[in-house]
Amino acid sequence: MVNFKYNPNELGIKNVWWGKEEKYWIEISNKDKNEEHKKYRGDFGSDLRAPTKDWSGNRNVSMYSILGLVRPNDVIFHCSTTKGAIIGKSLASDFPYITQGTYFSPQATRFSNAPKFPKRTIYKVKLKNYQEFQDPIYQEQLDTKYKKRIINALNSLYKSYGQSVGTTSDDIWGYPVSPNIYCGINMYYEGDWRDRNISVGFSPVLFAKMPIKILKILDLV
């Protein structure tokens, strides 16, 4: 039994499949895009931030609210989408807490009058012991060197723990929500059902779980 600060049901997290040993997460972000982003969003290894609700302020978004389930000394891997790689790791200093803070607004890319880094109610987790990897793990490696083993591991995880958590209209996660184990690495299908290709890559989300089975393949545990 894992004790969380926030109730998963209230966060909209419907499939808490992991136990205490599954203490690994991944942040997937372009916060290192430029100096402006670093100023308002912080560096990798400083803290984690995610809005408590969607842009309307009314709905949970699991790739944000799952941040509320981090526990002290959980391990956070950092994926820079700017570099297309897992570049380091940190430890959570404490439980998440709710505060006011700046957060990047995708609305700013669509509307010229929208603030780029508005003040919002956010979950925040302070981090410690940041370690930058000498040999980052790149997106291309997931779909080549590690591809077959990752696909086998994901299929095993889906079979053991996968659970339908609704439809894409109920929750914004960024990939098919059934079966959903909130994983930071996923399979993608291209082509029709008669001749489809499977690729492996980072999930298009902000924050997610990193199952031990996947980490062992990547030699990260």
Query: How do the pLDDT tens digits run along the chain, 221 residues long?
Result: 688 999 999 998 989 999 999 999 999 998 888 777 777 777 899 999 988 887 777 788 888 899 999 999 999 999 999 999 999 999 999 999 999 987 766 544 544 555 666 678 899 999 999 999 999 999 999 999 999 999 999 999 988 998 654 444 444 444 444 458 999 999 887 766 555 688 999 998 899 999 999 999 999 99
Nearest Cα residue to 85 out of 35, 128, 30, 36: 30
pLDDT at position 165 is 47
- Cross-strand bridge partners of residue 49: 124
Query: Could you identify the residue written with the tokens 């980052």?
Result: 136
- For position 85, what pLDDT does the model report? 97
Phi/psi for 169 (5° steps) reads: -75, -20
Comparing CA positions, the residue from 89, 65, 83, 88 lying closest to residue 13 is 65
Give residue 116's pLDDT. 63
Q: Which of 98, 88, 86, 105 is nearest to 125 (CA)?
A: 98
pLDDT of residue 129: 98
Q: What pLDDT is stored for residue 20 in this prediction?
A: 93
Tokens encoding 122: 């956010």
47-51 and 119-138 as β-strands: parallel, antiparallel, unpaired? antiparallel
